[in-house]
Amino acid sequence: MASAVGSGAAVPFWRAAGMTYISYSNICANMVRNCLKEPFKSEALTREKVHFSISKWDNGVPQKPTIRSDTPEED
């Protein structure tokens, strides 16, 4: 029996390009947002903002979390 690599099994093109699904989906979402017309484009760009918190752990105990708000880089 041949292995999956040598058998010519279908591989998603994003995987064949060395990308993760998350990076592929981010690129696709970015392209869709850039194709929108106003006012939909500006609404979609406001939803693109990301808010998260980071907690460092020291000896098994979480330290005070840091709140971050990042936006993707603009082209």
Position 27, amino acid: I
pLDDT of residue 73: 52
**DSSP codes joined into one string, 8-75:** T----HHHHTT--HHHHHHHHHHHHHHHPPTTHHHHHHHHT-EEEEE--EETTEE---EEEEE-PPP-
Helix (H) or strand (E) holding 3: none
The pLDDT value recorded for residue 37 is 92
The share of the chain scoring above pLDDT 90, in percent, equals 3
The pLDDT-based confidence of 64 (bands split at 50, 70, 90) is: confident
- Per-residue pLDDT tens over the stretch 16-48: 888 888 888 888 888 888 898 999 888 887 777
